[in-house]
Structure 1
Amino acid sequence: MGVCDAIEQYAPAGKPSAMNPPNLPKVAGIDSTVPPPAHTAPPAPQVQSAPMLIQDRLAGWISDLTTLQELTERLARTATLDEALHELLRAGAALVGARRGLLALEPADGLGPDTTVGLGLTRADLGHIETVPRAATASGRLLDAPPGAQSEIVDADLLTDSGLDPRHREVAVRLGYAASYALPLSTETAGRIGAAVWLYDEPAQPDERRRHLVGLYARQAAEHLALLTELDRARKTEGTLREELLPSRLPRVAGVQLAARHRTCARGGGDWFDALPLPDAALGLAVGSVTGSGPSAVAAMGRLRASLRAYAVMEGEDPVAVLSDLELLLRLTEPARSATALFAYCEPAQRKIILAGAGHSPPLVIGERRTEFMETSLSAPLGMLACWEAPSVEFRTEPGETVLLYTDGLLHRTGDPMDRAFARLHAAAAGVPKSLHADPAALADHILRTVLPDGLDTVDSDEDVVLLAARFE
């Protein structure tokens, strides 16, 4: 039979049974201390025929291949780097018959991410292991070795090794492990990306069959880890680029308090916001969304936001003119892309707002006496018509009222039809406690948590979310 029975529960719940012989040296997965039978005469030897031997071997190979397929499929279903690292550790521990382990991710190109995760080890345990000199650990030797220099490191009995580093011996005794088995994780294209180490509670080592299986699994796992590493880098790069393209901080303008919240989708979306001081103590507020996702949408979002800032400085008192210029630019430079946008020209001293929207959801006015949507004129998104133009809307707020601008992602993430999503948003705004009305940041957080409960504001989604709150004094 194969190793399926050994990993049926996926990770050993306690010490492997093969690790428990009292005195004799052991090999993981093999009980070397089978007691002699209590017979007065030895039993007759059983001779296995050649066909039966071949059949048993074939059954074992099939079982092993099935096991590898199941474990590889489970690993392939992991969507994040952290999930894949823990999955690899658990599967490897089951294959080699260990209970604990750690995986050090350290790509050879030096671009990161660098991290260490543990199986059956707390963060404090990992901290103790990190105090051991790097050259004295199996993971450190594998990570620092030249390519192809070492394929595995077997330390079957650490505590009897006279050459063991004293600090390593101290940590091993403290954490209660006596043996380890380590494998490098590498691919032909990415090179060395990390090392996995599994720890045994007693002197032991995996037998040749288990080492062969875990080696095959590790090669497949390394390819998956290399791919997820590249994706993780791309997401972080996009996130950094997106944050650089959005305002790093909101301006301070007399008569108004500002707060913004931004949640990015997993693939990187094109939702944006802006707030900029304008001549004559005025303020420009804008939110928008570019179609698509990924780097191209982020780049288009940055170009659109930068262009809107320029138009707002020149003709911000006329929001229709601002959006008309933006529509013309989008149609000429990116004819295959469309966008929604809303721009508001504010005079805080008079609490006067003039706004225009292009295919965008209406802003919400929130106060102690009213909670209502300020409907803009019905209009198509930018880039959809040969020539965009729609009338603006003018209104005034009462002292202490907050104007909330947002993108459609807030509504889409609810999973409800749009009419119900709008109703949910209105109910959340109407239910804001009075104590939060004076703080636009607390108000935005309350609405975000209420409209998107159970972590929907943080989980991966296909939709960006932007909230921009302006409280007029």
Structure 2
Amino acid sequence: MLDIDPHLRVDVDPLMAAQHDLGVCDAIWRIAPAGKADVMSAPHLPKVAGIDPAVAGSPHTAAPTPARTIPATSHPTAPGTLIQDRLAGMVSDLTTLHELTERLTRTTDLDGSLHEFLRAGAALVGARRGLVVLEPSDGLGPTSTIGLGLGRADLGHIETVPRSATSYGRILDGLPDAEGGSDVLPEADAVPGAGSAAPVDPRHREVAARLGYAASYALPLTAEATGRLGAAVWLYDEQAEPNDRQRDLAGLYVRHGSEHLARMLEVERSRARLATVAEELLPSRLPRVPGVQLGARHVTGPAGGGDWYDALPLPEGALGLAVGSVTGTGPSAVAAMGRLRASLRAYAVMEGEDPVAVLSDLELLLRLTEPARSATALFAYCEPAQRKIVLAGAGHTPPLLIGERRTDYVETSLSAPLGMLACWEAPSVEIEPAPGETVLLYTDGLLRRTGDAMDRAYARLHAAAASVPRAVRDDPAAICDHVLRTVLPDGQDAGESTEDIVLLAARFD
């Protein structure tokens, strides 16, 4: 509690009120006991919640008048109590903003950031539902619409309203009445019964009645480096709009939140570009070789990894199959993966019938050109006409043989990854699939994304392969899809996993 003399002079500093942009109070009150204004207005006053009240006085401020004594009985609420309440409100607002922005900065992806941003904004303006329309002005995307308390059908209805008839639509289109020359432009868009003087578009009225909202409040999402990102709009079930305090708090939150969204947008763009490069380094389509059907699936991790697969037609009707994984993530791992895959293709053409020689050459190249990097790889030389496969692996996961009568791991010899030893060599293994059986090659990212210990992950993969429905056993791509859905149900893999996933299936007739 503040110990303030009852003889007070209370006046409002107009310069502080004009310069104040925090939106947590109407003005800063300057308080001093009578006859001690110079002392109380001296510089280096203590700060409250990070706000420095030491601001030069306005030259237009009227000269101080003698203070007069106000009997305590004539005013039930003392001025000191009002000041304390105002300061308490300021601290409470700043604390709320700090907590909400902290929660937003802890989000690590664009989708999670948009959901958190929308939820916090609704709490600040006192709304229950809303949506964020992400539509960057540079046209580079991505574009998306995220709803709070709105389903896909509800968002579809809202999108049928002409953009010029909604406040957020005018923000997105950059219309003059929506910009106003300010970074934060609150605008209440009243709909049926909200008391708006402007006529309401019939379609807007119809959608509002269908969804049960009576007013909306929209704000632009603008970042300093990227410009306009989109717009956020919150919906009120009744005829309401945010008060001045809510507008100020929401404006502050949106201003800082937009900068975080801009960073997440750039991260999302970088991930998309990296995934595109990785996909371009992999086969655009699988070859058609008599006697065998192929199917593949590739899932890129959020940071971009170095997993790859390949299927290469070889002389005399043979087929080369390869999967591998380069250590590390990011652009350097993707580039190394591309170089390693291209080299393996060259070695496979020259001496593909000897998988051990192919991997030995690849290991020598990796050790000479990238001594700080290692990789796992598996290469299989297939003769579909004879249903014969000769394969060798370098620290790679063993293939699975999937058929009507059996589902077994192929017993490959233990070997070190490429680049780990001075000279790599391991014996090859020969298998003969029965007609209708499928050989499944994969990378260890499929196992690691489960979050289980490796023995349990192998058991889960075996169970998934054994449960392939008979109706899809003739389709290698469908087998890959079934394994993915079963090993990682609904895509629920380990939370922050950065692993790529590669599946390559070859079904022999």
Name the TM-score class by shorter chain: 0.7 to 0.9
Q: Please tell me the residue identity of whatever aligns with 1:266.
A: P
Question: In 2, distance between residues paired with 1:99 and 1:212?
Answer: 19
Closer, same or farther in 2 for the Cα pair 1:178/1:455, shift >3 Å?
Answer: closer
1:324 matched to 2:324? The reply is no
Of the structure 1 ranges 177-186 and 57-66, higher mean CA displacement relative to structure 2 is found in 177-186
Q: Report the equivalent of 1:65.
A: 94
Q: Which has the larger radius of gyration?
A: 2
Question: In 2, distance between residues paired with 1:377 and 1:285?
Answer: 18
Structure 2 counterpart SS, 1:193: strand
Q: Report the equivalent of 2:139.
A: 110
RMSD: 2.6
Question: In 2, distance between residues paired with 1:358 and 1:169?
Answer: 66
Mapping for residues 424-443 of structure 1, pairs under 5 Å: 424-432=460-468, 434=470, 436-443=472-479
Closer, same or farther in 2 for the Cα pair 1:454/1:178, shift >3 Å?
Answer: closer
Mapping for residues 344-363 of structure 1, pairs under 5 Å: 344-363=380-399
Q: Report the equivalent of 1:120.
A: 149
Question: In 2, distance between residues paired with 1:402 and 1:98?
Answer: 55
Structure 2 counterpart SS, 1:218: helix
Question: In 2, distance between residues paired with 1:312 and 1:224?
Answer: 48
Question: In 1, distance between residues paired with 2:145 and 2:334?
Answer: 31
Q: Report the equivalent of 1:32.
A: none
Alignment match of 2:283 (pick from 233, 243, 247): 247
Q: Report the equivalent of 2:450.
A: 414
* CA-to-aligned-CA distance 1:207-233 (integer Å, 9 cap, x gap): 221111111111121111111111111
Question: In 2, distance between residues paired with 1:265 and 1:76?
Answer: 22
Question: In 1, distance between residues paired with 2:150 and 2:235?
Answer: 10
* CA-to-aligned-CA distance 1:403-432 (integer Å, 9 cap, x gap): 221111222233333334334434444454
Alignment match of 1:152 (pick from 185, 198, 204): 185
Question: In 1, distance between residues paired with 2:165 and 2:473?
Answer: 59
Closer, same or farther in 2 for the Cα pair 1:201/1:343, shift >3 Å?
Answer: same
Structure 2 counterpart SS, 1:349: helix
Alignment match of 1:93 (pick from 112, 122, 146): 122
Q: Percent identity?
A: 72
CA drift at 1:464: 1.9
Q: Report the equivalent of 1:80.
A: 109
Q: Report the equivalent of 1:40.
A: none
CA drift at 1:255: 1.0
Q: Is the 8 A contact 1:414 1:421 kept in 2?
A: yes
Task: List gaps (5 residues or longer) in structure 1.
Answer: 1-43
CA drift at 1:288: 0.3
Of the structure 1 ranges 357-366 and 272-281, higher mean CA displacement relative to structure 2 is found in 357-366
Q: Bigger relative contact order, structure 1 or 2, given CA contacts below 8 A and separation 6+?
A: 1
Q: Report the equivalent of 2:347.
A: 311
Structure 1 counterpart SS, 2:386: coil
Closer, same or farther in 2 for the Cα pair 1:373/1:175, shift >3 Å?
Answer: closer
Question: In 2, distance between residues paired with 1:421 and 1:259?
Answer: 22
Closer, same or farther in 2 for the Cα pair 1:130/1:164, shift >3 Å?
Answer: farther
Q: TM-score, normalised by structure 2?
A: 0.77
Q: Report the equivalent of 1:166.
A: 201
Structure 2 counterpart SS, 1:309: helix
CA drift at 1:460: 5.8
Question: In 1, distance between residues paired with 2:325 and 2:348?
Answer: 17
CA drift at 1:453: 4.1
CA drift at 1:87: 2.0
CA drift at 1:281: 0.3
Q: Is the 8 A contact 1:101 1:198 kept in 2?
A: yes
Q: Is the 8 A contact 2:167 2:189 kept in 1?
A: no
Paired residue total? 430
Q: Is the 8 A contact 1:152 1:181 kept in 2?
A: no
Q: Please tell me the residue identity of whatever aligns with 2:113.
A: A
Q: Report the equivalent of 1:334.
A: 370
Closer, same or farther in 2 for the Cα pair 1:366/1:181, shift >3 Å?
Answer: closer
Q: Please tell me the residue identity of whatever aligns with 1:184.
A: P
Question: In 1, distance between residues paired with 2:463 and 2:206?
Answer: 60
Structure 1 counterpart SS, 2:98: helix
Q: Report the equivalent of 1:265.
A: 301
Closer, same or farther in 2 for the Cα pair 1:115/1:442, shift >3 Å?
Answer: closer
Q: Is the 8 A contact 2:166 2:189 kept in 1?
A: no
CA drift at 1:284: 0.4
Alignment match of 2:324 (pick from 288, 312, 317): 288
Closer, same or farther in 2 for the Cα pair 1:76/1:368, shift >3 Å?
Answer: same
Q: Is the 8 A contact 1:449 1:457 kept in 2?
A: no
Question: In 1, distance between residues paired with 2:472 and 2:230?
Answer: 48
Question: In 2, distance between residues paired with 1:425 and 1:411?
Answer: 8
Closer, same or farther in 2 for the Cα pair 1:45/1:280, shift >3 Å?
Answer: farther
